[in-house]
Structure 1
Amino acid sequence: QRVGGPWRPGVRTRRADSREQLAALLRAAADDPFDLEAGPLLRAALIDGPDGQTLALTAHHIVFDAQSLPILLDDLREEYAAGGSEAGAPGRQFRELAAVTERPAPEALARWTDTLRDAPSRLGLAAPAVPEPHGTVPIALPDGLLRRMRPLQERLGMSWFMVASAALTALLHHATGDPRLTFGFPVDTRERDAFARVVGPCLNTVVVPTRCDADTTVGAFLEAVRDGVLDALEDRYVPFAHVVEALNPPRVAGTTPYLDVVLAPQTRAHTPPRVGDARLLPLESAQGSATYGKFALTVGLAVTGERLSGEMVYRGDRLPVDAVRELARLYPLFLAAFAEPGESTVAQLAASLGATRGALRAEVDPGTAVTTSRATAVLAEPEAGVEQRVAAIWASVLGLDPARAPGAEANFFDCGGTSLKLVTLHAELCRAFGTELPVQRLFESTTVGAMARLVARPESPPVAAGSRSGDLDARAAARRRTRRPGTGGRV
């Protein structure tokens, strides 16, 4: 991670003569790709429209997390109320928080290693015989579910997220037949008094190990998950990368240890926020969440007022769509049952809900790492064959016609690629070629031919982090010059 010095964004001015033109300008502002090397990663535009002025702010997710938005809105309100005069001294900066969190307390890291030492680093999932496209399956959660959870939350001292996590992991224990598994969730690292108002990517990922045996009751499992989440939050400032480095679990190309399952909670404003007389509206991403593809299963849960909604985002090389649909069908049943638990065991409850034990069980050891023989075999493959395979994976990630796969000189970003899609491509290439590559290498090799050479000879030296060659600058400039209107994707 590189943290730059102080910087002030420029504001572009535009004009829209109709509401339709205004909507098109806003969509174009959101769809215009970011250049991660050259920046800027926060853009501002002021549009004079038929109903007044519209301020459009577009930020890349690597510099602006969800909690940054209410902080930024509060700052805008203060500046708006000040009427152009100085509203106050600048607050603490992200670079200060990053310097603190990069030095975790040794005892906190030791607690993490003790917690996860015997936990499985990979979930035993039965992958489809032929990889399927990544996708998203909505979860049909009933109205009133949050209200039904509250008595349980008060009795056991739990949040709705803890109950939702327990129901999901219980379902996965039953579906895989594994008595032990792990799940992760993102946490805010700014919750210290000195850094509460920091804007930036103030996120870490924490992991909760769970155990569910044949005689584990629903009540006991709820309490265990509650305690696991609280323990994880206690040491949330230890960077996840430090934990993985200390544990050094078996690596499997294209996956992240301990994070095959990730829960992503959100709380959304029931009514649009306001700054003075201005009403603020978010512009939802047009890019499908199925392109993310970083984890085997990501369960997104959002609270809007009294309504809980959700979706399951999955990787098609790890889970077949039919299995995810069955999980999405069963999850509301488990969640409703967990909201009002009786004395039954998890196994008894699952059976009463019609869940098939071991339906997702893998036939091989989920912790098996990729062997060197597979990674070496690609070196003997003709380069043209490697290019064809890379082009086919490109077509799958970008949603292109497989019969018209891009050629060797095609540029990923000019074909509609984005930084998030490049992360998906990275996972797919690592899995297909049985190799481990830093994702940075793909940002340095953006054509089919360059990526084919990279996976065929992964030992070639990378560009040092933080450095930029003239060639990189030239390629970044070329991408910006040659990017055609309408080919950019959302980042």
Structure 2
Amino acid sequence: NNIPIGRPIPNHNVYILNTSDQLQPVGVPGELCISGVGLARGYLNRPDLTAEKFVDQPFIPGEKLYRTGDLARWLPGGNIEYLGRIDHQVKIRGYRIEIGEIETALLNMEAVQEAIVVAHENNNGDKALCAYYVASETFAVSEMKEKLSVQMPSYMIPSYFIRLEKMPLTSNGKIDRKALPLPDRNTQTGVKYVAPRTSIELKLVEIWKEVLSLKQLGIRDNFFDIGGHSLKATSLAAKIYKILNLRVSVRQIFNHPTIEQLSRIISAVEDQSFTSIPAVEQRESYPVSSAQKRMYILHQLEGGELSYNMPNLMVVEGELDITRLESACIQLIDRHESLRTSFKLLDGELKQLIHDKVNFKVEVRKVRPEDLDEYIQGFIRAFDLKQAPLFRVQVLEFTSTKHMILMDMHHVISDGVSMNVIMQELFQLYEGAQLPELRIQYKDYAVWQQNEMNQEQIRKQGAYWLETLGGDHPVLQMPTDYARPATRNFKGARVEFTIDEHRSEALQQLAIQTGSTLYMVMLSIYTLMLSKYSGQEDIIIGSPIAGRPHADLDRVVGMFVNTLAMRNYPTGEKTFEQFASEVKENALRAYENQDYPFEEIVETLDVTRDMSRNAIFDVMFVLQNMDQEARKVEGLEIKPFEWEYEIAKFDLTLSVVEWNGQLNCMLEYATSLYEEATIVRMTKHFIHLVDNILAHPHTKLSELSMVLEEERMQLLADFNDTKAEYPRNKTIHQLFEEQAKRVPDKVAVVIEDKQLTYRELNE
């Protein structure tokens, strides 16, 4: 701002000038150039490009000037306005990318004969790199990304790779960029289709199709490139065991992510007898599962009565038939025993009671839109766990063609996967569908789980958790706005933020480079942020896992979720890539031992209970990548309705949802500890940390900063601006005595519950 042409910017060895030596303030565009100490002197092995980009500096003999390729103009007020690019250098997510460098790296790959990289722009103005290449063989996209990651940072690696038979040319022999095919989601994998060749490969293809909801895939497709993640890997292992009678671990799926590789592992494993979960005989009461026991105890805590409600709100446009909806709900309750289950202490032991019939009715109320908040608050109320059903539905009628369905249930009888099942089946029943009978119910799982607890495998899992979490476990010391109350009150709020499509894609690429998943990369970043806030290098974060270890449990409604304590060590000397690899290994070990109930871990460790904190950890991380079933009902348009639910089960919970190529994030926080402004700043720190990691994944954790530029300036300049005028002809004690005369009864000193006024201190 207001820097004359050819003069250095203060405190920087950088000059602003133009090839024609000035940019006209009348608005004529020109090219920006820079010169400075430490600037690169040329392009490696590219003398032609060096001569074109590095020209003689007119103000300092012997110095070179770099032509940036930025088109800009001076404005009358002295500012420079950026107009765009004059060459094929592009800016994506704030990073300047020299496309020629990527093309050179591609041409260095064996078998690649021609390559061109193009930045495609979508309707929102966002850009993504697409690499087109001609080669004598087809590369897997993951292979190409891995080769490029050795030579350049993640933000320079193209999102798409398209192999061409030959490059399209214009009449004068140049590449016709307009004739290049547009990329789509399919071109992100780019693996040549290879059909199954053996009976095992054929069966694996069918299992993968079911788990990934795909119509076609080949034996060389990478599980994690075509929609797989940790949760689906667990489901895949369970289905392989059920259908092929073979136990495959989640770790083996990570290490052998194609059907071709996995089939070799399976061929070397002996058949193992798959055992179904048996249906138990009818009883007056049944044991509860470990997860149900946890939910029951948490429900009893003061202030926790609403903490584990699971409200689900939907706006319905069209001719909603209330009678059919109520009938579908009743059929759903008849179908799933969990929806007609209550809980009771019998002889000091918690039991679940299954009722043959329960009273249920869908309430209908006519409301005005301005009264909606009041109705929702009145609907979400505490459940009495001794009274079934722990499930209620209400319909709010705005007009004859616009309604809202309010649904609520207690977490003790349901979880996220169960909610998906319930919503899918509810509308199937509404449309008159006949659903297949369920062989087992949740009570059968609870009995089976108790029997399983005696097995050697479960005892080994307990030993793993005792080793991982035993001894002194860290208590996270986060800086808070308010002192921690003596007991938790569960009051909370949420701040939402978005990680855009390009950052999300770069995070996916980083996951590929580290051989991990998006979950593991995001957990690594979250752990690092907490470490930087707390100054601690031993962090435990809770993370829920679906907890359905058996293929028989796919369609059973109930509370299966288990909680894994993810303990990681973000020490400053590790690079982020090293740390992410450690997080991956620790996560895989946790998955392998996920059947051991969290409640048993707490009891085994004999953790000292602090009523102001949760046991073992105070922060959570959740990545929601469960398949969200589309709710399509003929004649109805059904949309989810977001409502601020003012509950926080933990000090901090970071939730991430993959949606339309972006990551929709939400930071839930305890309002007894944090102000909203603090959490908003925390979300900015998180995104800034993401950007630094994507730009410098090989950098040490201690050198990765989450401090924003404006905060850095505030710390270095504003907070150090302590100059103040004062009387230079008086001593300190004279100035104090004058103050004591002016305000003798004002408080001067406070320590704990004692205080002194200026008069008392002076005396």
TM interval, short-chain normalised: 0.5 to 0.7
For 2:391, the equivalent position in structure 1 comes to 42
Q: Distance in 2 between matches of 1:72 and 1:130?
A: 41
Q: Which amino acid aligns with 2:542?
A: G
Q: Distance in 2 between matches of 1:319 and 1:19?
A: 34
Q: Distance in 1 between matches of 2:403 and 2:480?
A: 51
For 1:180, the equivalent position in structure 2 comes to 538
Deviation of residue 140 (structure 1)?
3.2
Match of 1:207 among 565, 582, 586: 565
Match of 2:411 among 49, 61, 79: 61
Quickly say closer, same or farther: Cα 1:325–1:19, change in 2 above 3 A. Answer: closer
SS of residue paired to 2:521: helix
Structure in which a larger fraction of residues adopt strand: 2
Q: Distance in 1 between matches of 2:524 and 2:552?
A: 33
For 1:107, the equivalent position in structure 2 comes to 460
Deviation of residue 26 (structure 1)?
7.5
Q: Which amino acid aligns with 1:58?
A: D
Higher relative contact order (CA 8 A, sep 6+): 1
SS of residue paired to 1:328: helix
Q: Distance in 2 between matches of 1:9 and 1:337?
A: 56
Quickly say closer, same or farther: Cα 1:270–1:108, change in 2 above 3 A. Answer: closer
Match of 1:87 among 435, 440, 453: 435
Are 1:346 and 2:701 matched, yes or no?
A: yes
For 1:335, the equivalent position in structure 2 comes to 690
| Mapped contact 2:622–2:655 kept (Cα < 8 A) | yes
Are 1:138 and 2:495 matched, yes or no?
A: yes
Quickly say closer, same or farther: Cα 1:137–1:75, change in 2 above 3 A. Answer: closer
Q: Distance in 2 between matches of 1:313 and 1:53?
A: 29
Deviation of residue 336 (structure 1)?
3.1
Q: Distance in 2 between matches of 1:270 and 1:87?
A: 20
For 2:578, the equivalent position in structure 1 comes to 220
Q: How many residues align?
A: 352
Deviations 1:372-398 (A, max 9, x none): xxxxxxxxxxxxxxxxxxxxxxxxxxx
Quickly say closer, same or farther: Cα 1:28–1:122, change in 2 above 3 A. Answer: closer
For 1:263, the equivalent position in structure 2 comes to 621
Q: Distance in 2 between matches of 1:71 and 1:351?
A: 40
Quickly say closer, same or farther: Cα 1:66–1:213, change in 2 above 3 A. Answer: same
| Mapped contact 1:119–1:182 kept (Cα < 8 A) | no
SS of residue paired to 2:640: coil
Deviation of residue 43 (structure 1)?
2.1
Quickly say closer, same or farther: Cα 1:167–1:17, change in 2 above 3 A. Answer: closer
Deviation of residue 348 (structure 1)?
0.5
Q: Distance in 1 between matches of 2:386 and 2:516?
A: 43
Q: Which amino acid aligns with 2:445?
A: L
Q: Distance in 2 between matches of 1:22 and 1:137?
A: 22
Q: Which amino acid aligns with 1:155?
A: Q
Q: Distance in 1 between matches of 2:423 and 2:498?
A: 31
What percent identity do the matched residue pairs reach?
A: 18
Are 1:193 and 2:551 matched, yes or no?
A: yes
Q: Distance in 2 between matches of 1:72 and 1:22?
A: 28
Deviation of residue 258 (structure 1)?
2.2
Q: Which amino acid aligns with 2:562?
A: N
Deviations 1:228-278 (A, max 9, x none): 222222222211111111122333232123221111222487895224554
- CA RMSD in angstroms comes to 3.6
Map 1:156-167 to 2 at 5 A.
156-167=514-525
Q: Distance in 1 between matches of 2:470 and 2:400?
A: 61
Q: 5+ unaligned residues in a row in structure 2: which ranges?
A: 1-292, 294-350, 716-763
Deviation of residue 177 (structure 1)?
1.4
Are 1:326 and 2:674 matched, yes or no?
A: no
Deviation of residue 47 (structure 1)?
7.8
Quickly say closer, same or farther: Cα 1:347–1:27, change in 2 above 3 A. Answer: same
Quickly say closer, same or farther: Cα 1:20–1:348, change in 2 above 3 A. Answer: closer
For 1:31, the equivalent position in structure 2 comes to 380
For 2:475, the equivalent position in structure 1 comes to 122
Are 1:229 and 2:587 matched, yes or no?
A: yes
Quickly say closer, same or farther: Cα 1:136–1:43, change in 2 above 3 A. Answer: closer
Q: Distance in 2 between matches of 1:137 and 1:16?
A: 29
Q: Distance in 1 between matches of 2:529 and 2:374?
A: 45
| Mapped contact 2:483–2:673 kept (Cα < 8 A) | no
Q: Distance in 1 between matches of 2:678 and 2:417?
A: 33
- Decide which moves more: 245-254 or 179-188: 245-254
For 2:667, the equivalent position in structure 1 comes to 312
Structure in which a larger fraction of residues adopt helix: 1
Map 1:222-301 to 2 at 5 A.
222-267=580-625, 272-289=630-647, 292=648, 294-301=649-656
For 1:70, the equivalent position in structure 2 comes to 420
TM-score (norm 2): 0.41
Deviation of residue 137 (structure 1)?
5.2
Quickly say closer, same or farther: Cα 1:82–1:325, change in 2 above 3 A. Answer: closer
| Mapped contact 1:68–1:199 kept (Cα < 8 A) | yes
Q: Which amino acid aligns with 1:90?
A: L
TM-score (norm 1): 0.62
Deviations 1:4-59 (A, max 9, x none): 21545544255567885997998478435433332421124578871399865432
